[in-house]
Structure 1
């Protein structure tokens, strides 16, 4: 099983817990049209994917939803219980720990991420078949097939998918 560096609980955008660009919505989260990811957290996604090689990595994205935008403030790396280059299963203990932290931080669940170590960041058939969270959250895929990692975000539906604009915010 690919394990994370010792002491890695989650990655946080500096000062994100105190200075969100907007307050939490008073209503339950709704789907958003685009995902905004600060540079530092974008790089953490790539680092986690490269660290997990040759296996797929997986994790959770949290933050705030406001006016059709999902702003990522926290990345929670999770262990891949399958330790496979073509599939992932979030480690149940890691997932439970991440959900507890998410609640304490009062963040919205924005989505999940995983890597494709030898292919592009497009949803695979397996991704569509094993989607248990529906289209309310996004699925970010880090593709490591080329020299430069590629990242794309998707909403997954039974048998289909839809691109969600992924914006890397300059730090």
Structure 2
């Protein structure tokens, strides 16, 4: 059960949708599960369609007021046919993207550009964080940071290396994207 952080009445609350995209098996569902519940499940269960999770996080303060974010997190099926057929319906209203690739599968990084383009075609420019997941499988690694920087250079997005299994950088990825979105929504 999700608990809302206790915030004073002067707090500012933002509500928005973010999408996790990427090829099948890169760990999108596991990243969400780690972020929302703090747990990891070894079994692989293919996502069919899209699954919605929610989490409220405190982000610190903005202009002297505490800030919290109610995130609706969409876990999108990793089939490109799904992307082509349903992108408008599922991406509509998304304010940011966590684009996930598997560091043990170089092709998942190369295919990531299609996913980022698909979201941006639907919602326009929006913040993107690229996540190189499965860093706990270092002995099988096929993607290094130079590869990711080269492939993702035109997207000007931060690249974080994560492990849903160990929790490495998972919280930082979701909170970093949320903070970037909030900053982009805040009046100057």
TM-score by length of 1: 0.36
Question: Which structure is larger by alpha-carbon Rg, 1 or 2?
Answer: 2
Structure number with higher strand proportion: 1
Structure number with higher helix proportion: 2
TM-score by length of 2: 0.34
